[in-house]
Amino acid sequence: MKFTCSQAALLRAVNTCIKAVSVRTTIPILKGILIKVEDGRATLTSSDLNMSIETSFDVQNYVNGSSVVSAKLLGDIVRKLPNSLINIDTEKEYGKLSINCLGSDFSIVSLPADEFPLVGGVNSKDFFELDKADFKDIINKSVFSASIDEKKGILTGCLFNIKGGTMEAVALDGFRMAIVRKEIGSDKEKRFIIPANILSEIYKILNEDEGSDQISVLFEEKKAEFLTEDTRVIARLLEGEFIKYNDILPSSWNTRITVNREDMLSSIERASLFAKEGKNNLIKIKVGKDTLDIESRSEEGNVNEKVGADVEGEELLIGFNSKYLIDVLKVISDEEVVFEMGSSVSSCLIKPVEGNDYTYLVLPVRISVS
């Protein structure tokens, strides 16, 4: 194998691929990146068995072939090289890949390409076209609500439910839930559950991708493929029954608050200074006639934050894990936001003033009313 390319092209590809390289793996070759050259294109592939990433770019002076080298080392080297032409060659020394750029000559250990476990792409006519910005937005607004506890099985995933021209993403961890909706220009139907950690990596890849505004998503029974101009991510899907999330949404409220999102966020963040991890980050919100009093206390002191709000219905004292509210208020961009509450022990909904682009549910923390 042999090729010449720009440092920028190789660096972009390595930075993309490295997102699927497992730092801790018992399979040494998975710490590597597979480099394959075929007919003027170099393709870099990485995999952690749950997700694999392939990305390619044009090369010159090439000889077809393939090789596997340490992802970390390749990344460290390419990152430090100047933006000039890089020559890659496996034919100079047996079992080594040489990297040459101006006065720099590297020679690094390579492994046989045929030992690299290939996941294989998705061969299917079952696919969608999605707007890249829409898909990024839906990931950003939902993925944080999934469970990060591997023992929680299906809750570590994010459900995508595509139906009647709408894409709905749902993630929940037992304490809070995100439901995010987007109109998409397709009348296809599809339902799949994808691990939230893979979704986060896809978000990063799309964020760095400079290609077209559209991506394609292809499906097989147990995997999905996310395709941009130069890159494809193949993700293992989660199997099993997702929670019947519509059943846990409260159907009525007794207290409805409309509040400026940024004011609310800043006040909760300040109140959190006294809300310690060990105590569930507890803050109390006292809903008055036209203000919210947000309070928290610790041995070090206490804080009261007053936020003006438009309150309908009953006054209420309710406790929350401040982190769950902060997570939600940070990803929304609306100027105003609505909180709907039933009582101090029933779940709270956070919704837009108009429309139904998102519905967040947060369970309250039981507090002793003193």
Binding site for a second copy (CB under 8 A): 70, 73, 76-77, 80-82, 96, 103-109, 266-267, 269-270, 273, 299-308
| Residue 7 or 228 with smaller CB distance to a second copy | 7
| Residue 96 or 152 with smaller CB distance to a second copy | 96
Whether 249 contacts 361, CB under 8 Å = yes
| Residue 75 or 319 with smaller CB distance to a second copy | 75
| Residue 39 or 299 with smaller CB distance to a second copy | 299
CB of 69 to a second copy, least distance (A): 9
How many degrees, rounded to 5, is the angle at CA 122 between CA 114 and CA 51? 65
Buried-exposed string 102-128: b where 16+ CB fall within 10 A, e elsewhere:
eeeebeeebbebeebeebeebeeeebb
Whether 305 contacts 271, CB under 8 Å = yes
| Residue 240 or 301 with smaller CB distance to a second copy | 301
| Amino acid identity for residue 186 in this structure | S
Q: Using the structure block, give the residue that is written with the tokens 């002076």.
A: 61
Among 173, 141, 170, CA closest to 329:
141
| Residue 307 or 363 with smaller CB distance to a second copy | 307
CB of 59 to a second copy, least distance (A): 22
Buried-exposed string 141-156: b where 16+ CB fall within 10 A, e elsewhere:
bbbbbbbeeeeeebbb
CB of 309 to a second copy, least distance (A): 11
CB of 107 to a second copy, least distance (A): 5
Contacts of 275 (CB under 8 A, 6+ apart): 281, 282, 283, 296, 298, 322
CB of 270 to a second copy, least distance (A): 5
- For residue 86, give both structure tokens: 């890089």
Contacts of 299 (CB under 8 A, 6+ apart): none
CB of 200 to a second copy, least distance (A): 27
Q: Using the structure block, give the residue that is written with the tokens 């709408």.
A: 166
CB of 227 to a second copy, least distance (A): 33
| Residue 111 or 349 with smaller CB distance to a second copy | 111
| Amino acid identity for residue 172 in this structure | L
Cα 60 from Cα 41, distance rounded (Å):
8
